[in-house]
Amino acid sequence: MAPRSVAPKPAKPRAWQRMLSGRRLDLLDPSPFDVEIEDIAHGLARIARWNGQTTGHHIFSVAQHSVLVADIAGRLEPDLAPRWHLAVLLHDAPEYVIGDMISPFKGVIGGDYKAVEARLMAAIHIRFGLPPEAPAEIVALTKRADKVSAFLEATQLAGFGLEEASAIFGAPVGVFGGERGIPPVLVPEDADKAKEAFLARFAMLEARS
């Protein structure tokens, strides 16, 4: 009797990405040891917010958005501790690996995307001396600052009217004016400038943490 042929096992899909630093980051089981701030800054500076549907000569990058959200959080909570300010700056850091998906598409994908994102965020936090999950009050502050940023980006860069943006993101009532200053005018920067600004803010906050 001829021996039975055994079908070869299918190769396991590759779940890691090689970074410019030389690190190989596993998306399914990310290690803090494979996380480098240079890789994060480089990637975020080249990822477009709003799927690139913004005005200007350059994309409005996730790196520039992250610095803006950190600025807004500082306006909302002037006494915010540097380590939590750092957590706000890094709130979209997993996107250097998985990209920036618009909120409607995240809702379609559902839980799998959020699980991968959460594992990456935990590894990033641990790498930079933060707890795997930020406290609830920091999460709430980040979400509030993120919505204010989205309102500013939507109305200044993405073609939204004030009424439409207010209905979707909420009008930033009380966020600007008086001691909190006037709303910033958003000008999309080239990737190198966005990367430098992100790294400079990171270095300042890490030194103070």
Q: What is the pTM of this model?
A: 0.89
What is the reported pLDDT for 15? 82
Q: What is the CA radius of gyration of the chain?
A: 20
Q: Note down the domain range covering 41.
A: 32-207
Q: Between these two residues, 12 and 197, which has the higher pLDDT value?
A: 197
What number of helices (H) and strands (E) belong to the chain? 9, 2
CA distance 119 to 176: 35
Please give the single-letter amino acid code of residue 118: A
Question: How many domains does the chain divide into?
Answer: 1
pLDDT, tens only, 28-43: 899 999 999 999 999 9
In the chain, the N- to C-terminal Cα span, in Å, equals 72
Interacting residues of 56 by C-beta distance below 8 A, sequence separation 6+: 157, 187, 188
**Contact (CB, 8 A) for 153 and 49:** yes
Which one, of 204, 173, 201, 180, lies nearest residue 40 by Cα? Answer: 201
Average pLDDT over residues 75-98: 96
pLDDT surpassing 70 at residue 185: yes
Is residue 5 assigned to a domain? no
Lowest-confidence pick of 12-26, 158-172, 194-208 = 12-26
pLDDT, tens only, 102-116: 666 666 666 677 888
Q: What percent of the chain has pLDDT over 70?
A: 88
pLDDT, tens only, 5-18: 665 665 667 788 99
Q: What percent of the chain has pLDDT over 90?
A: 76
* pLDDT, mean over the chain: 91
Reported as half-sphere exposure (CB side, CA atoms, 13 A), residue 47 has a value of 21
**Contact (CB, 8 A) for 87 and 142:** yes
Is residue 6 assigned to a domain? no
166 SS3 class: helix
**Contact (CB, 8 A) for 117 and 146:** no
What is the reported pLDDT for 28? 87
pLDDT, tens only, 122-163: 999 999 999 999 999 999 999 999 999 999 999 999 999 999
Q: Say which residue the tokens 């994908």 belong to.
A: 109
Q: What is the per-residue DSSP string for 6-50? A: -PPPPPPPP-EEE-TTS-EEESSS--GGG--HHHHHHHHTTSBGG
What is the CATH number for 61? 1.10.3210.10
Is residue 2 assigned to a domain? no
